[in-house]
Structure 1
């Protein structure tokens, strides 16, 4: 009978496992993003429109504009008629593939060749794009009284020496877009790309050879529709933030999500600062040059969410030349590069309220990886370090549980002796606890202590670009995604069951039944958790089992001092 029961349970477990695998294939969270058979073609945002889409300077409303309008329409200066091509400009570096629209000089596509869209696809992850599927672009220009982006007839059409640029073996690359206004003012829009960097320098050089003073305002903005985050590949568990972030003197990290922009506009003046659009693992941000007070603002227009900055107005005297600048960061949440780009920009790696635990964990995890060269082994290493740090605290808890296990028969005898006299039974139990130094709640302590570390590590795995597509061994090729065959969650559930066998059985029958269900419940929840997180919990359970087994043996042998 016992053999038959074992066979039936094993068969049921196998069938359940196969059903879960099939359910995951049919309905579960996708392990990979499904790419369309024909990617949408990158197009100019202004190819079929003669109207400019800019923000407003010195006005109360946007009047339907998407980029700033002039404060003084009577002083507008026309852009000289020139024969220039509207063919898109392609720029390639070792870490960026950029497409620039000569109409306005906006960056309308950024692809990241060092980061695949889907594991082993060979295709770069596309961060910014302008096509029929999605709008997410980085715009910039000169508005104000004489700015070319404020003139009638739409965005200015720049000319360039080529439509193809490549960094090749050089350390830096300048891409110049030029135009000449009718009054003789020459405007050069220069993008600077550096080897290995995700930040792009922007310089506007205004050479005023006219007879009158020239006045303008620099703007930089990010325009994005409300589409889902393409880098968020898991559909269960906590989600990374998707939306805008402003960094100002008043608040160095202020989230303004799409719902906030639906309700009202954000507007604030601040010296320096930056504005960003954040998603899972990746970020785009405009950082104006330090040393001036900027206006930061958000708005919603034609279904798109727009966040950006406006510089103070500046004048260029006749016969003089002047430049204004800003920096665009478009790439992964690389903490080292972001810290070098702007103060507080690395806060876009959002670890939540447990950042004070998560940040050191990330530092330690990175250091271990520099030694072992595998992120899975790094997670095992950090699990061991956390276990060592909490060794004494866990030892006290395990010692208390071991004593409860040892004196379990005595507790059962007291329960049978005093029957329904709960008060007397509680008194005798308390005497036993005090005499043997037993803490009945001690078993909860290890879990309570581990939970903040567990949640903090969850956010480290969620937010650290280093772990995206990071392999472990064998079939686990991405620690930031779920185990495709659920092996790690099942092993984790098995270790929880072994832990329960080492623990004393709760005296309350209902509590005992709930405890028996916990391994099953936890296994189910962990099925779709990132494999790296399950690996951490599995290793933690194995180390806990070893420590608890040793303490149990010492307590049962009567050697309390060693325990």
Structure 2
């Protein structure tokens, strides 16, 4: 029924056994152990890119947790609308929940396939998927420090017992107990590494706390490691080698991938900070903005410009009036008025035009004008 899983698993194991059997001997127990270990490494190497996608997707989902919580509250009574908005949010952020579960989902059938292939190594069998009769006998007769790789101390249905394949229970326990402990410890350490990162993200505010996730974290930290230790005597010994090798690979892969992703995010933040500094005005620099024509000018220059096109002519008229009030000659008044009227500020040099006063300058009083006014009052 699951031959599409059993044949590929057995083929990868067969290839590695040929490689290590050529060096160590076809019947060597170490060659068979290494074939199981490198079966794990091969499969995990194939799943490396999906694992990276899983980590990225999980991080994005954690960052989206506050927004998702808001959507759940907003559309609590409309599940269809909630699903639609959740999908939009995930698409906008490039998150894919399926990619987060893919590596784990793929490893489950691999484990089932390996367990099935290992328990099919039995005395007298003529074939075991890719393995022929001689290779089947080689696996059954081989031992690893006196233990049998395909046998279990308390065998389940269709699993060979230690005595059935000619093994020794004491040697089986001696090899199995350290592997049980290692499998439990590595499972706990792998889970703790993932949980610690999630808690750090929650503390930093980049992820929101989730009660369901906390329950799952406790299961990963304690229940799964205990389950591995308790279930070890019921499994073929080679399965424990698979489990230990798988957890060792996971630890190294997590360290490598998380370090790489953290470095990428730190580089992005640094580039964003540098670009923000480059766009910001330097200390003491005049504020610059663009006028209607798109020309960059000083803000103070734009504020001093006339509001309309008639401002220049008004300045000319004011400049000529100011010059005539001085009592000067006609030629002088014309020259001064023309000169001051053509400028942006009107009669700025005479000081008598409406726009000619400099900021902070005191008004100049005309003595003759003052006397004439007093004379009129008298």
Structure with the bigger percentage of helix: 2
**TM-score, normalisation: structure 1:** 0.32
Structure with the bigger percentage of strand: 1
- Between structure 1 and structure 2, the one with the greater Rg is 2
**TM-score, normalisation: structure 2:** 0.45
Larger RCO: 1 or 2 (CA < 8 Å, sep 6+): 2
